[in-house]
Every structure is written in structure tokens, then in C-alpha cells.
Amino acid sequence: MNFPILTFITFIPLVGAVLLIFIHRDKEDLLRYISLGIVLVAFVFSLFLYFSFNAETPEPQFVEKKPWLAYGIEYHLGIDGISLFLVLLTTFLMPIILLSSWRYIRKRVKEYLILMLILETGIIGVFVSLNLFLFYVFWEAMLIPMYFLIGVWGGKRRIYATLKYVLFTMLGSLLMLVAIFFLHSMYYKAMGVYSLNLFDYYNLILNPGIQIWLFLAFALAFAIKVPLFPFHTWLPDAHVEAPTAGSVILAAVLLKMGVYGFLRFALPLFPDAVMTFLPFLSILCLIGIIYGGLMALVQKDIKSLVAYSSVSHMGLIMLAIFALNVEGVEGAIYQMLNHGLSTGALFLIVGILYERAHTRMIKDFGGVSKQMPVFAAFFLICMLSSVGLPGLNGFIGEILCLFGIFQANKIYAILGVTTVILAAWYLLWMYQRVMQGPITNEKILSFKDMNKREIGYILPIVIMMFWMGIYPNTFLRKMDSSVTHLLNKIKERGIIFTKAQKDKDVVLKIEHKTEKKNTEKEEQFR
């Protein structure tokens, strides 16, 4: 196939952003329709990706590879069963996000839409890049629109929140950059050519002592993004201060970039270091699960409640990945999509409430369901999806994650289950206080139920929730071979080095694992 479809999907929003620059800022509706059209085009084309995706092979598909700059920097795109769904999640949510802020964003509409489109390019770029340079460019470039989205359209403490977000993320990613340089130079010393191609690095076998440092640098960058427990402090601030659309995009997609980073880079590149840090990281996840859940219980602001619930849920996802088995990793990827949908939907729900009440404090609400019955139904479904009710998407993801974790370590699984219990507790309790009981505040009497636009953008999410809950095979079977391949790679490479290590005790040992060398080595060790 000659049509560069990944390039098209990645850059069509950017082209749209450039187009918007030339439209007068007073034509707000025109601007909105054009940007909506562009993100819909991106979505339609990404559907094409799904249908023509070959689930049999773990190799990256729709690959585009062109030389770009010196030093092994190439323009190299491709997707496999893992990134496919993250791209789809992004393109699916983008129109919804634009619709949700259709009337809410009133000042500086033009800048807002331009930044949204640039942001979409950045996010998709992160998921489709196979060259470390390109990946890093998108990873960092994506920060800039987010920085503006929170900083310009955010709440009262927006400047603090946005600077904290940018500086936290930069801290991690700059150290990751140094690790990339280090990999780059080791590859050069070992092979005599420059490369930043991810697949070339997959074939490097590094000394475990070096792996530990490199893994720490990569893991820090991704752990801040996920966020894992001690690095999560930017998240509640950013969520509470961001506008609804910003929160949705942050929770639904940006957090997934951290998990994706672990899956794509940190785990397969440094398998030995992963084994070393596995218990430590799992405990961090567990702390995150319980701490996030308990913090969510005591929040007074609905939005920060949902934000802390994210910390708890992302902890479970990471824990499932660290189980390093097929159930766990597939469950984690599935749960990423679920979390994207359900938390995204919850932020949208909070946004709808906020547009009416101009407050997000739980105590200001009560008995809203009497005034807004349709809204109450949607709220209930989204909330239950986040809790993990059977029949809805959250259940499948959580049960798979827990299966995987249980196989790896029973104690982790028992502790990990608390996320479900805590989620049921804080979400149901919040729902009860906000929606049920007598109407406590006369302002609520003037609330109008959801309008067509609002139903229009929540409905697709709800349909997806049922679909993913009832027939998960649509999604799971596409990722099987990629996930199996990934796990094999991690395990197999770990074994090779442990064997090699016994034999040689070199400080820095880099072997290139071509087919030939590999078989030789296998024989040697037998």
C-alpha cells in the first residue's frame, strides 16, 4: 500500500491547525465546524487502520521509513496491536472532546481549537513513532499545547498547575533523553553505525549493571506520566485546574502515554533491570492503588475525586503490566481503553454539571436526578463502568488484570482487588450525595436536563462501554500476537543474558543478536 496513512492521520490535525490560522477569529462557528470535520476525518481514517490491521503478525504494520537527518535519525512510523487501539482511542475521543467544549469555551476560541489540533498530532505521533528521536520529539512537543490549554483556559490556580505539570514531565523526559544518548552511543560503539531505530535497540543485549541506570531514567519519565505513586502530585492539580476538555484528554489519553512507554520502551529494552525492580515497582503500584482510592474518598471536589480515582486505576494497570503474562498485559491494555472511556466520560459529566452550577463541590449538590433524569442515567452508567460492573467494559479489563496479577503473585492480587472495592465505595457514595436525596440547593431547580449535543457526545462513549463489556473479542484478538511477542521478547532476552553473564564477567558487554550469533551462543552455552 502506497498511501502513507499513518502520516496522514498524524498530520491532518496539524494541517487543520495551520488552516485555522487563516480564518478570521470572529467566525467562531466556522472554526468549530472545520476543526470538528478535521478530527472526524482523522477518526474515519483510523477506523480504516482497524479494519485492515492484520492480527496474525506481531510485526509493526503500515510502516513508513524515510531517512531524515544524520546520526540514525529516521522518519519511521508503524503500529502494532498495542498502539493501534491507543491511536483509535485518541481519534475517537477527539471529536467528543471538541463537542464537549462547543459552547463552554467562549474566549479565544481560535487559539483553543488550534492548540487542540496540534495536541492531537502530538499524541498520535507518540503512539506511531518507531524511532527514538521521533518519539522524543512528539513526546516533548505535545507538552506545549497542553501547557497552554491548562494555563490559558484553566481555573484559578492554573499557572501553578501548568508549570508544575510541565516541569515534572520535563524532569523525567530530560533524564530519559540522556539515557537515549547513552543507548545511541553504545550502539555506535558496538556496531560502528548510528541508529535510533527501536528495533535495532531491541537486539542489543546490555550488561545488567548498565541496564539498571538506563531503566531508571526511562522508568522515571514514564512513571511521572502514568503517574505512579510518589510522582503523582502534579495530577490532581492539573486535573482540577484544567478545563473539562483538558481533563478528559489528560486522563483518557496522556496518562496512557506513560503506560505505553513502559510497554514499548522500558520493559523490552531493559528486561534484566525490570526483573530487578519488579517487586519495588509493584509495591509502588499497590501503594498508588490504595492511596489513590483513600484520597478519592475524602475529596470534596468531584473533579479531584475523579482525578484521584485515576491514580488508583492507573496503579492497577501498571501492576497488571508488571505481572508480565498475557492476561495481565492484555488486561492492562484493555483497561487503558476502559479507563480512557470511563474516566473521560466522568470528566465530561462533571463538566456538564459544572456548566450548570459553576461549582464542583459535592456539598453544593443533592437530588440532581429529580431535575435531570436523562443525565442521571448516563451518569450512573459511566460511574458503574468505572466501578467495574459486569456487563460493562470496566469489568472485563479489571478481571483480566486481576487474573494476570494473581498468576504472578497472590498477595499483590489480594491487595490489588481493593481498587475495585474502594472505587465502588467512593463513586457510589459520591453519586448518592450528588444525585439522590432531597434537593438541597434551590439553584438545582433551575437545572435543565442534557441537551441534544450533550447526549450526542456521551452516547457514543456509552455504546462503546456496552460493546467492550459484552463482546471484548473485537479488541482483544487484535492484540494477542503483539502482546505474546512482546512478552516472549522480554523473557527470552532476560534468559540470554543470565546465561552469558555466568560465562563472561565483562563490565560493558554489548552483543548484537543476529540470527547467526544467537544460535552460536545458544550452542556455546549448552
Binding site for other proteins (CB under 8 A): 68-71, 108, 111, 133, 136-138, 140-141, 143-144, 147-148, 151-152, 158-159, 162-163, 166-167, 170-171, 174-175, 177-178, 181-182, 184-185, 188-189
Residues 6+ apart with CB under 8 A from 397: 331, 334, 335, 337, 338, 339, 388
Shortest spacing between CB 65 and other proteins, in angstroms: 16
Spatial separation of the C-alpha atoms in residues 419 and 315, rounded to whole Å: 9
Report in angstroms how near the CB of residue 139 gets to other proteins at its nearest: 8
Closer to other proteins at the Cβ: 163 or 297? 163
| Contact predicate 394/388, CB 8 Å | yes
Q: In terms of CB distance, is 213 or 425 closer to other proteins?
A: 213
Distance CA 14, CA 4 (A): 16
- What is the amino acid identity at position 274? V
Instruction: For other proteins, give the closer residue by CB, 181 or 471.
Output: 181
Dist. CA 19–CA 36, nearest whole Å? 13
Look-up of cell digits 531493559: 270
Instruction: Select 76 or 356, whichever has its Cβ closest to other proteins.
Output: 76
**Cα distance between residue 434 and residue 378, in whole Å:** 14
User: How far is it, in rounded angstroms, from Cα 45 to Cα 30?
Assistant: 23
> Which of residues 88 and 177 has its CB atom nearest to other proteins in the complex?
177
Nearest distance, CB of residue 174 and other proteins, angstroms: 4
For the chain, give the longest Cα–Cα distance. Answer: 81
Nearer to other proteins, 110 or 313 (CB): 110
- In the bound complex, what is the minimum distance in angstroms from residue 357's beta carbon to other proteins? 25
Nearer Cβ to other proteins, position 163 or 389? 163
Min dist. Cβ of residue 136 to other proteins (A): 7
C-alpha cell at 336: 487503558
C-alpha–C-alpha distance, residues 89 and 30, integer Å: 26
CA-nearest of 391, 393, 301 to 343 is 393
Q: Cα separation of 320 and 395, whole Å?
A: 14
What's the closest the beta carbon of residue 163 comes to other proteins, in angstroms?
A: 6
Q: Cα(159)–Cα(481) distance, rounded to whole angstroms?
A: 44
Question: How many helices (DSSP H) and strands (DSSP E) are in the chain?
Answer: 24, 4
Closest CB to other proteins among residues 35, 61: 35
Decide: 379 and 386 in contact? Cβ < 8 Å. no
**Residue 323 Cβ vs other proteins, minimum distance, rounded to whole Å:** 33
State the nearest-atom distance from the C-beta of 261 to other proteins, in Å.
Answer: 16
Instruction: Output 72 or 388, the one with its CB closest to other proteins.
Output: 72
**Minimum gap (Å) between residue 116 Cβ and other proteins:** 16
